[in-house]
Amino acid sequence: MARPGFASSIRRWAVFKYWKFYLSMVAFLAGMALLVAVGVGYGVLPVLAVLSVSAGAFVLNYRTNSLLRRRLTVYKSSLIAFADYKLLRRKTKRLFPDNDTCPECLEMWEEVNTRNARRAYEVFVSLEGLWIKAGQYLSSRADVLPDVFIMTLSKCQDEVPSKDLDDIRETIESEFGRPLSSVFEFFDPKPLACASIAQVHRATFRGEDVVVKVQHKAIKEVIEQDLENLRRIVSWFAWAEPDFDFRPLMNEWSKEVPYELDFIHEAENLRRVERESLEAVRSRKDLGMSFKAIFPQVYDELLTEKVLVMNYIDGFKVSDIKELDARKVDRVALIQDIARAYGNQIFRFGFFNADPHPGNILVVAEKGKKATPALLDFGLTKEIDEKTQRGFSKLVLAAADGDISMLLNSLDDVGVKFNFNSQIIAKESLKMTKFFFRDSGKRKTAQLKEEKAKRKEKQKEIKLQDDESLGRNPVDAFPESLVFFQRTIFLIRGLATLLEVHLQYLDLLVPFAKSNLRGTFQIDKPFPFPRTIEVQSQLSAKLINLAAKLERDGSLTGCQIVVWQNGQFLAEIACGRRDKYTENAVTPSTLFNVYSCTKALTAMALHRCVEMELVNYSDYIHQHWPRFRTKCTVEQVLRHTSGLQNAGGEAIEKNFFSVCNWDRMIRLMEEADPTTAPGSEESYHYLSFGWIVGGLVEKVSKTPFREFVRREITGPLGIVDEMQIGLEDPMNENLAMVCFDLEGEKKKMKRKLGRAALTGQLGKRMKDIHELANSEAAEKGLMSNPTMFNHISVKEAAIPAANGHFSARALAKLYATLANGGVIPGTSKRLLKAETVALLNSFSSVSRPNAQEAGYGLGLQVFRTDADDPAPVFGHSGIGGSLGGCDPRSKTAFGLTLNQLTFDHGAGFEIMKLIFDALGLQPLAAFNNGGMIERNQLLAMA
């Protein structure tokens, strides 16, 4: 029976026993609260915070509860490091307000870096478990972290304190059910390396040298707590310093790390990677993707969940600079082999080592032979599906080509979700990705600080430009697979930097990415040139031959060409590829973004409204649209003389994705002030034309614009599926991808400018465009952004001046109807009145171009054969070369769609010249002397 007062004695004993713990918790929580003040800058409070936390940590040294002690040690160390850097930042800002890269300032940073690198290493090693992996990862980031961190944390790769041999013996004997001495003839008690989950010993098995990987005792419980602690620390740092948000990496680790505790799983991973690598080496001979690598061999009879036995590989660490120099290893070739080995894993097979660090790579350098990397430790791997592989491939090629829309599409493919109100998406995504894939090169503290300062300035600029982005993270969702892809990229970059190898990383990955998209990893071969001839004729044959020549010359990727005359098809072909990365063939029903060719369809909708007596050409817009501020007529908008050519431009410059918001753009049209007096000057309304006309159609018809177009234009023509303003199904696979090579076009322009024959009006225009292409506007990415219309959010948006997705046969049928006086070919149904069609190619007093120009009629472009031509050809072209039009005299209509954009429209004009010559039509003056350049369109985009 218990003595009286026993319970109260126990309580008193507990209070006495654990008073240090309670005190430490109070001190710890006080320290956390006070440390928040560091971020808002309250004088002495940061010092008190550090003292409070340190006091709590001191008391905790007496605790015997190891898991609790580990947790609080993590929190304490993180807070101290955070406070250390915050205090230094405040101090340097106070002492060196104008020069934080002076020697005195850099010395202070070096001192703090040394102190925190040592502290981090000591904490990682003392805690072991997952923290060793954190140190290993950080030690591979020589491209980002200061040298002192790399040198200090590199010890985490294989210099972790080893476990007691009795523990190792117990695990081996428990797994195999027999004494250690009966399993191995020799077992070295001194480990070769010790890591977070296991340690490796050298041994002899049946006379062969082997290595034995043995899992630490009770490591599972430790790993589980480490994951929880790391999650909390990462979340706290993401809140305190949004620039350092590693939560996606943490979430993925939480799922994948438990697999590392199963060595049977690791052995299966190792065999698979080795098998696939050998298959790649056997099937591929081209130098762009060939590589050599060594993999350990597993002893199946000695494989369990906690013990893994492999053959011994006689090599040295890849980060051992002295040994590399002593063996005269070609560092460039070594890094290339490593990069290509990982490229093969990611892009060919979609199965790769997701936990790379220098400690997992050895170098085997036999005398007289090329040094070969040995790839170890496949406990943590990642498998990605074909869609994600293709997304990664597009990501690499987009970065290499500077294609911002392909970049955004690739990120969308792999699961990145953006907040499209953020300015950083429109202007900074390409820069961010090029930084991600940048060439390797070691940088010192001063360079790192300078880069950080530049990033901060850019963030300030972005926030000032767009209030909607304040406090917003541009990324709404970050996929798990991209986290490990990023880790692999960083390993190779960091390793190249550590070895002082200038690695052109993108150049190594591009062959793998291209091969993935092509579906073959054999020696590179030219793409075939697919072709479809719907209408057999001499003209079709000539057009196919010309298109093939243009493709060989690099001027054409894919196209459709359709020619009507007297209501009959004369030619219809579809040829080339829908994009420059794959063999996907263009078909007659493929939809192309035809840019400003869209304006013709938009104008037709307004002409129908006039015929329906809903509005007159002479009406002021505000008569039907009361909120519309500018006093201009319907006719002035159609003729591009309203003065509103820049309406909405400022909003689009700040955030390109504003074009996706119909209501916002309509509101901007209402509120815009004219740049020039309405009716005084013709100036191309590149984007504003569509929203003004489309908005007016909605006001007078009381019908949504796209619904009105379907009901009144595309429906009666029977081309609803092949003539859309904003795609109904943006995931439609039969879409042509817009291709544009800004650098290539600039070089081509430079070559043409060097020709003496390029003089006069054409020469002046070419020089104007060349200067524009090399201007600040081009550097900002605006000039190179016709391809932004590839993005899914833009493809489905209603942009009535520039976002039509048409087939050439739909475009040709629209103009065949106009060439036929408004009557739909093959029917007696009238789309427009004859008198309306007659107005389309009429000039106003403001718009009277000479024979070398194209002017604007009533919503369409007008092309003359000479200055006195009474019945000129009319239609509309799009930036890059797509074109639709008709010659009413011969009742000829044509539709041309192209997906490779060019400055000079060279391919388009060669095709049109062939058509006019073949039909015996008088050539248009605008197509002579090398072609007409739509300078106004290019200027509007810039």
Per the CB < 8 A criterion, the answer to whether 940 and 645 are in contact is: yes
| CA quadruple 587, 588, 591, 594: dihedral, nearest 10 | 120
Per the CB < 8 A criterion, the answer to whether 188 and 201 are in contact is: yes
Q: Is 733 exposed, middle or buried (0-12, 13-18, 19+ CB in 10 A)?
A: exposed
Per the CB < 8 A criterion, the answer to whether 695 and 591 are in contact is: no
- HEC letters along 388-434: HHHHHHHHHHHHHHCCHHHHHHHHHHCCCEECCCCHHHHHHHHHHHH
Q: How far apart are CA 196 and CA 213, in angstroms?
A: 12
Instruction: Give me 927's structure tokens.
Output: 């197509």
CA angle in degrees (0–180, nearest 5) for 577-579-585: 25
What are the beta bridge partners of residue 64?
A: none
For residue 206, is it left (φ>0), alpha (ψ between -120 and 50) or beta? left
Per the CB < 8 A criterion, the answer to whether 374 and 296 are in contact is: yes
DSSP E strands in 2-70: the ranges are: none
Per the CB < 8 A criterion, the answer to whether 299 and 263 are in contact is: no
Other Cβ atoms less than 10 A from the Cβ of 702: the count is: 8
Q: DSSP states of 494-511 as a string? A: HHHHHTT----HHHHHHH
Question: Could you tell me which of 122, 101, 175, 114 has the C-alpha nearest to residue 149?
Answer: 114
357, HSE (Cβ side, Cα atoms, 13 Å)? 22
| CA 134 to the chain's CA centroid | 27
Residue 892 vs residues 417, 439, 858: alpha-carbon distances, Å: 47, 54, 20
Catalytic annotation present for 619: no
Question: Could you tell me which of 222, 194, 231 has the C-alpha nearest to residue 70?
Answer: 222
Q: How far apart are CA 130 and CA 661, in angstroms?
A: 47
- Supply the DSSP symbol for 296: -
Could you give the angle at which helices 66-95 and 19-40 cross, rounded to 10 degrees?
Answer: 30
Q: How far apart are CA 533 and CA 853, in angstroms?
A: 33
Q: How far apart are CA 200 and CA 162, in angstroms?
A: 9
Q: What share of the chain is helix, strand, coil (3-state, %, to 5)?
A: 55, 10, 35
Q: How far apart are CA 87 and CA 90, in angstroms?
A: 5
Instruction: Give me 729's structure tokens.
Output: 């199904």
Residue of 158, 226, 355, 741 marked active site = 355
Instruction: Give me 563's structure tokens.
Output: 């020619």
Helices (H) and strands (E) in the chain, counts: 36, 23
What residues are labeled active site? 355
